[in-house]
Chains A and B, each alone.
Chain A
Amino acid sequence: MAQVISIHSFRGGTGKSNLTANIATSVASQGKRVAIVDTDIQSPGIHVLFGLDDKDFTHSLNDYLWDRCSAKDAAYDVTALTTADGTPAQISGSVHLVPSSLKAGEIAKILREGYDVGLLNDCFHDLIDQLDLDYLFIDTHPGLNEETLLSIAISDRMVIILRPDRQDFLGTAVTLEVAQKLDVPGITLLVNKAPDIYPRETLIDKVQAQYGVPVGGLFYENDEMLQLASGGIFWLHHPDHAFSQEVHAVARQLIAAE
């Protein structure tokens, strides 16, 4: 039975897409068949991390919603990733990505006309069936809107990313309240972009005490991430980095929680 995992943050700039790409590929490196759907239709971007150019894809999630293609047609196999020195990465599973359109006119059209959000649910299930997936990751738009509410509602697990920031803390409380109303079976918090002045255990304890929800990972800000600048999957470029080790730890938790 495939697991649907939605990755959410209440505010933008939390590193949501970056963590989604890193965790999903880590899960795939453990032999799992994985797909990521970019439901951030208003501001898509996760495809950049996989080196996918908008000229490289003929179909997108938008086309599925407009009945122009099947879900599988909009899914691109991005498993052939490379490490920092350009050698092929060893991914024993597979990674597919369903990008959202980057064409301004198509983004505007979908915002203008709306669409049947339930079709996203159909798309997710079609992908699980057609690609024989073990895990489907949903990269959501920050904040709460119709798409993110649907993604939360149908997820087996919700991962909420927050920074150690007062605004993020308040927003995460709102998100958790909504997730509980939507009966999400499992919730994990990931703290990202933590300044290194905060001791790990102190920060994890503080967040867990505040929300009563487990913290699955804590990621410190680092210069290497800034230098990579969305130019690839971080753990493939810096396999021994503490950030990468934390990515793998989160991936193992997600697999173990299945």
Chain B
Amino acid sequence: MTSPAQGEAPHPRHQPVAAAGPKTMTDLLTLADPERTLVNWLLRQRGASLADIVAHTQAEPAALQAMLDNLTATGFLILHEDADPAVFKPNLVSRRPRTMPEKLWKAVE
């Protein structure tokens, strides 16, 4: 972990971002039950491999793969391929910045 130099503006931490993501927690609530349940579980686990997901859900592998593909394509999950085995992680963590006139922000900063 690094710290910004003295006087330098702090920079927010960042995580890998999928092309279609990231989604918000509010978006998560709009998913159908099976998808939402899976993403909820992954959120608690902070990610899991395909084998772990299969073991947890006991779902039919082809159907599960299709669900994971869809969740990844729509930006709810991101596949971290640098891990061995690769790990699916939730990608629904961005809070959208508040919109407000610039001069009001300047006044309070």
Chain A interface: which size bin? 20 to 34
A119 at the interface (CB under 8 A from B): yes
What per-residue 1/0 map shows which CB atoms of B6-41 lie under 8 Å from chain A?
000011111100000000111011000000110011
Q: How distant is the Cα of A114 from the Cα of B98 in the complex, in angstroms? A: 7
Query: Given A114-B95, A114-B96, does the pair A153, B2 have CB atoms closer than 8 Å?
Result: no
B109 at the interface (CB under 8 A from A): yes
Residue pairs across A and B with CB atoms within 8 Å: the count is: 96
Q: Is the CB of B10 within 8 A of A183?
A: no
Number of B interface residues in the complex (CB < 8 A): 34
Q: Is the CB of B25 within 8 A of A104?
A: no
Q: How distant is the Cα of A183 from the Cα of B39 in the complex, in angstroms? A: 10
Partner of A115, one of B2, B4, B12: B12
Q: Is the interface of B mostly helix, strand, loop or mixed?
A: loop
Q: How distant is the Cα of A114 from the Cα of B13 in the complex, in angstroms? A: 11
A206 at the interface (CB under 8 A from B): no
What per-residue 1/0 map shows which CB atoms of A86-111 lie under 8 Å from chain B?
00000000000000000011011101
Residues of A near B2 (CB, < 8 A) are: 67
Residue of B nearest to A70 (CB): B1
Q: Is the CB of B98 within 8 A of A111?
A: yes
Residues of A near B70 (CB, < 8 A) are: none
Which B32-58 residues have C-beta < 8 A from chain A?
36-37, 40-41, 43-44, 46
Extra contacts besides A121-B93, A178-B29, A182-B28 (12): CB < 8 Å: A65-B12, A66-B11, A68-B3, A107-B108, A108-B108, A111-B97, A114-B97, A117-B25, A146-B95, A147-B95, A154-B44, A182-B40
